[in-house]
Amino acid sequence: MGGKPTVSSYRKWGWGLGIATVTAVTAFGAASWQANAAPATPAPSSPALSLPRVSDPSPVPEPAAGSGSDPLTSTEVGKARAAAVTPQLASSARGVTGEAGPEYLSAEVDSEGAGRQAELYFYDYRTDKLIKQVVDLPAGKLAKSFSAAGMQPPASTREAAVALDLMLADPLSADFKAAYHKAMGRQLVGKEGLVATAHIYTARPADKSASQCGAKRCVQLMVQTTDGHFIDVNDLIIDLSGRKVARLT
């Protein structure tokens, strides 16, 4: 039944509280007595910290030449590039900005060839052909030469930089610049603070604005600011062969 609590209930609550309080005080007192009565024992001393030692050895000089299937050294790549770009190739081929000579892409050791050989890949923007030059490293001479159309290996760092320049100079970059302003709180000036990575783009059957990509060298860019913001430009295709920008539709 509802109503006001009776005097006996007050006493019951008070009694319970009293018992709990007394019990707590008694327990506290006993604990305090035991703590005071126990003989003081010295705290164990901490063992001396053993600080890790960081070695800083002098870097081992890179050998001038590798052996077998070892990766190419920087010296070998330099010599191989000099042998790979023949006078005829230097005068007839064109690089990504239209300069004389083919666009250098990459180099790797030919692990299946006889002796130590380097395979170097170039792109000729005049003919839109991939050029593969095989260099005999010990002899320092060109051993084999191949070219093919319609082959698009990964883009180089230089090609990515040129693609970014082309995009920023095109009116289609207006949305990118607006997104940059929104993310960074300031207008984009030049390309300082931008890091671009280029991925080869090959046209799909439905593409209209980029149908030449694949036969021509085209890329999509992934752009990041130095402080970590990614700005989406996947709808823009940069045709490095034609030096133009298109929007996918």
Q: With helix as H, strand as E and coil as C, how does 159-228 read? A: HHHHHHHHHHHCHHHHHHHHHHHHHHCCCCCCCCCEEEEEEECCCCCCCCCCCCECCECEEEEEEEECCC
What would the two tokens of residue 120 be? 């170097």
Better pLDDT: 46 or 129: 129
What would the two tokens of residue 30 be? 């006993």
Least confident of 23-27, 101-105, 172-176: 23-27
Give the residue extent of every domain in the chain: 74-149, 157-247
Tell me if 104 sits within 8 A of 156, measured CB to CB.
yes
| Percent of residues, the chain, with pLDDT higher than 70 | 73
Given the candidates 3.90.1570, 2.60.40, 3.10.450, 1.10.3470, the CATH classification of the domain at 74-149 is 3.10.450
Least confident of 46-55, 126-135, 154-163, 239-248: 46-55
Tens of pLDDT, residue by residue over 189-215, are 889 889 999 999 999 998 989 999 999
Longest dimension (CA), the chain: 114
Give the fold, CATH level 3, of 157-247: Nuclear Transport Factor 2; Chain: A, (3.10.450)
